[in-house]
Amino acid sequence: MADASRPNQDLSAGEMAEFLAVYIDETGEQCDQFVQALLALEKDPVDARRLAEAFRLIHSIKGSAALLGFDRITSLAHHLESHFERLRSGSLLLDGPAIEASLRCIDYFRICNERLREGEPLQPADDLLEDVKRLSLPPRPDAERPPASPATVPAAGPAKEPAPMNPDPKEATAVERLRRIRVEFAAGLPMADLKAELVLARLGGIGEVVEATPAAAEFAANPTIRTLDVVLRTAAAGGPITMAADVDGVVRVDLDVEPPAAAPVASAAEPGPAVVETMRVGVDRLDVLLNLVGELVVSRARFVQLVAEMAPLFRKTAGGGRQGVAARSLRDSVESMLRTTDVPADRAAACVFQLDQLEQQGRMWEEGHRRYSELVESVDHLTRVADGLQRGVLGTRMVPVSPLFGRFKRSVRDIANELGKNVTLELSGEKTELDKRMIDELGDPLVHLVRNAIDHGIEPADVRLRRGKPETATVRLAASHRGNSVIISISDDGGGIDVERIRERAVARGLVPAQEAALLGPRELIDFIWRPGFSTAQQVSSISGRGVGMDIVRTRIESLNGSIDVDSVPGEGTTFSIRLPLTLAIARCMLFRMPQAAFAVPVEAVREIVTVGDEQILSVGGRRVCDIRGEFLPLVEMDEVFSWSGGVPTVERGAVLVLQAGTRAVAVCVSSLLGTQDLVVKSLDENFMAIRGLGGASILGDGEVCLLLDVAAVFEMITRSRPVAERHP
Amino acid sequence: MPCGPRLLQQTVTGMESLRGQDSKQNGSAQFVGFEIDGQKYLFRIERIQEILTPGSVTRIPDVPAYVVGVSNLRGTIIPIIDLRLLFGLAPRTADANTRTIVVNVGDRTVGCMVDAVSQVIRIPLNQVQRTPDTVGADSHRSIEGFARAGENLFILLDADSLIDPASLAAAHRAGVPSVSSPDMVP
């Protein structure tokens, strides 16, 4: 019984509660925004930006509802979305009835939220749905209201009244409610099973049978049925219900009974999973905290560095430590000399005075040493507190990926059903945590990738069998930590990316001349999937986003400072790997100095640090390539990547950093390495403008500004002028 | 040691109090006077956040030459623009008089390097003459008017159009040699 009141059953109660809280929060806000957009549209119905916003909002309400299995909301939102699609494309104009229907939909969504919060089942919205569907039809003056869905047993009890959607939740609940009905049959009643079916059918005529115990399918196996418990959603009053249930052989009909103790499934009338109470804190407030913590992290680093620099001054073996011993032995010898030899009194006194001074300095050093030890301890303590605070504040934004992954249990099944494929979903690493903002942003790209995997990756069953693969395909979603980043991978055991088809398509779309295309290798061809507009044929369905291409996926991931790579083996499958930083705010970076400025690059992007001798550098057509243990990598200078006004002194090549993004690597000459440090990333465009190749800037412990490289962009900038080596494992 | 810019005495609060008097004396306004290549200029005082002695500036790539770089202003990163270069004058080494005027443009904060900051002056508004249309051509869009105080003639600059980040970005896109330009390849 697919029913809005019985949400996605693949989810455990705990998961459900978690999603539900998120769902209620999100859709609540989206409803508010949608209403605002509508109100603005009422004044200016062709405001393209508002139309697009309304469309986006309704699309995302639909998506969330679909993932949780709220079919009624999904279907309503789907039709509303379709209407807004037409509005957005300009084929229809937003009119009064459409605004009115949209507002009623929003009211319905809000009522649903209320009911979900209370754990109550959702009401049907069939009339509203019909109204919304009718919005997109051409107006027909003779159009009649489509008849309400015919009752299963005609004329049995009063027909279901078309209950108009009412925006007031209280009144709405009065119109329709859940009734729990117990029907008792006479003992030894012949054909009791058939009578029970009749009762169900008659009740179905005045409402919707939500649940029956025993279930209708079990009647036949249970011909001596004595009692039947029915949960009915109906607007009908007690009298008609009793009449509908009271057929020949029924001895007793009870209304609104307690649910049977041995109810096998949590029934719809029971409160749903408890919604965890949370406090909503504006992201800007958390951002302020995080920024402050970032500053703290920077100044802690400065303290640690200072203490480390002071250490040699206070070492016992350093001058100060030995001074006390030296002063004591000096005093001994001076005193014995004064006893044995004739020294003028004033010179003896001067000697003793200087000795006193020396000893006093020694004591001061001792004092300093003691203070230094205390300082070291305090800095240790500060470090622990700062680390804890950093973890804590970051933790407020960190959530496990399991809710995100969990949503796919259902969508994979739905997508697979829709496409007629047999797919199981394997999840791993669901406990891996990630910045909430990233989780929010990852939903759409992941849906797209999963859909792609099932749609294009996995072969039809007969092909799989021919290839000796199990008929049921597997899609894996995995998350794991790697250093300071999280890797999320989506893999399938399908046929891999068909590079020949990409080649044809690239030529057909004029992206590359045919003769050039013939020379491209598989990797370069696969890179075409990231081109805007290169996405393969899209079907508009309730699951896929409309017109979300792989380029959008990549843009979205890169806007999170992440990178995405694809690895495909023909016949064996495809894996997309998304690498994301744990958080957007603080990045562990390798610092290096160039004549132009101090630079930083996230440590995850640094593959290795090497020294390169002149004999390892080759010049190929004006480009330099260096040989690093047999691997030839392009060697670049900062002034090849960026242009600097006012000229740049020649770089004394101190070290070479091998930077990597996915499978690409490049060697960069640097003047000197300054080590690694946690940096608070600040944007350049806050006061100025974004500069391609720079992911932002950061302030070092001494106040200097260093520039943060955006490695993915740097790669592209280099690639524009020269090919970047592929790493061949 | 932090090598960030040191605050001069003319801080925001100082200016705030001056501005307070401003409203009482209708018909005049306060300006910050500064000098570039011997010419005296004015910024409206409301635009000025503070005046600094130049601190450490980190160069940034792919920007017009007049963007000297970025600086750390108490944890915020602001661009520093050399008005000499913006006006097309020859560069000049910073000396003891060189100042950075921190200007608020919209919701952004930008530092402007000038040869010297002379004074905060009050000028009756009737002494401020709007730019004649003949001068108000494209390149002089940022000149708001002229003012005379004593024997000094000042050019009143409109900070908004002078250092509009959007127009800087446009200049960036239009005029900066890109990576692929042949002269940049060694």
pLDDT per position as a tens digit, A571-605: 888 999 998 877 666 777 889 988 888 999 988 78
Segment B2-47, tens digit of pLDDT: 443 443 333 333 444 444 444 445 688 889 999 998 899 999 998 8
A158 DSSP assignment: S
Alpha-helical regions (H) of A542-611: 550-559
Whether the predicted pLDDT of A41 surpasses 80: yes
The CATH number of domain A173-255, selected from 3.90.1150.10, 3.30.70.1110, 3.40.640.10, 1.10.10.60? 3.30.70.1110
Our CA-based measurement puts residue B122 at a distance from the nearest CA of chain A, in whole angstroms, of 29
Between B100 and A683, whose confidence is greater? B100
pLDDT at A516: 82
A419-581, CATH topology level: Heat Shock Protein 90 (3.30.565)
In eight-state DSSP terms, residue B68 is E
Fold that domain A13-135 belongs to in CATH: Four Helix Bundle (Hemerythrin (Met), subunit A) (1.20.120)
What is the predicted pLDDT for the residue at A650?
Answer: 67
Closest Cβ opposite residue B186 in set A640, A684, A703: A640
pLDDT of residue A295: 75
pLDDT tens across A503-550, in order? 888 888 777 888 888 888 888 888 888 776 665 443 333 334 344 577
Token pair recorded at residue A435: 């910045």
Place of tokens 């996405």: A535
User: How many Å apart are CA A241 and CA A237, to the nearest integer?
Assistant: 7
Model pLDDT, residue A577: 92
With 70 as the cut, is the pLDDT of residue A172 above it?
Answer: no
Q: What is the pLDDT of residue B32?
A: 92
ipTM of this predicted complex? 0.74
Q: Is the pLDDT of residue A189 over 80?
A: no
Nearest CA in chain B to A706: B58
Spell out which residues of chain B touch residue A643, defining contact as CB-CB under 8 Å.
61-62, 176-179, 181, 184
Question: Which of B58, B63, B183 to mutate to probe the A interface, most A CBs <10 Å?
Answer: B58
A297 contacts chain B (CB < 8 A)? no
* Domain residue ranges of chain A, discontinuous segments joined by +: 13-135, 173-255, 283-399, 419-581, 586-721
Taking CA A544 as the corner, what is the angle to CA A540 and CA A548, rounded to the nearest 5 degrees?
A: 90
Inter-chain touch B2–A703, beta carbons under 8 Å: yes
Minimum CA–CA partner of A714 in chain B: B179
How many CB pairs (< 8 A) connect A and B? 109
Q: Is A141 on the interface with B (CB under 8 A)?
A: no
CATH placement of domain A586-721: 2.40.50.180
Question: Beta-carbon neighbour count of residue A91 at 10 Å?
Answer: 9
What is the percent of chain A where pLDDT is above 70?
A: 83
Range of lowest pLDDT (A632-641, B21-30, B74-83, B119-128):
B21-30
Q: Which of A642, A697, A702 sits opposite B70 (nearest CB)?
A: A697
Average pLDDT over residues A418-422: 85
* pLDDT at A325 > cutoff 60: yes
Residue A609 and residue A655 in contact, taking contact as beta carbons nearer than 8 Å: yes
pLDDT at A399 over 70: yes
Residue A136's CB: how many other CB atoms inside 10 A?
17
User: Which residues in chain A have Cβ-Cβ distances shorter than 8 Å to B177?
Assistant: 643
User: What is the overall mean pLDDT for chain A?
Assistant: 77
Q: In what order do the strands lie in the sheet with A598-602?
A: A672-680, A586-593, A598-602, A705-709, A694-699
Average pLDDT over residues B104-116: 89
Identify the CA nearest to A518 among candidates A528, A535, A506: A506
Question: What residues 597-626 of chain A have any CB closer than 8 A to a CB of chain B?
Answer: 597-598, 622
Which chain B residues are closer than 8 Å to A302 by Cβ? none
Domains of chain B, each with CATH number or no CATH: 12-173 (2.40.50.180)
B105 or A164: which leads in pLDDT: B105
* Residue B186 scores a pLDDT above 50: no
Tell me: pLDDT of A552 over 70: yes
With an 8 Å Cβ cutoff, are B186 and A622 in contact? yes
Q: For the whole model, what pTM was predicted? A: 0.50
pLDDT score of B140 more than 60: no
> CA–CA separation, A444 vs A560, rounded Å?
13
Place of tokens 């050019």: B155
| Helix, strand, or coil (residue A648) | coil
Distances (CA, A) of A404 to A19, A443, A548, A578, A638: 9, 7, 19, 14, 40
Residue among B45, B122, B44, B40 nearest B83 (CA) = B40
- Residue A527 forms contact with B (CB below 8 Å): no
Neighbouring residues of A529: CB distance < 8 A, sequence distance ≥ 6 = A497, A502, A535, A550, A566
Across the interface, of A641, A645, A684, the residue whose CB is closest to B77 is: A684
Euclidean distance between CA atoms B59 and B57, whole angstroms: 6
Q: Rounded distance, CA B15 to CA B50, Å?
A: 9
Which whole number is the average pLDDT over A244-266?
Answer: 66
Closest by CA position to A371, among listed A585, A379, B48, A549: A379
pLDDT of A449 over the 70 cut:
yes
Residue A693 contacts B, CB cutoff 8 Å: yes
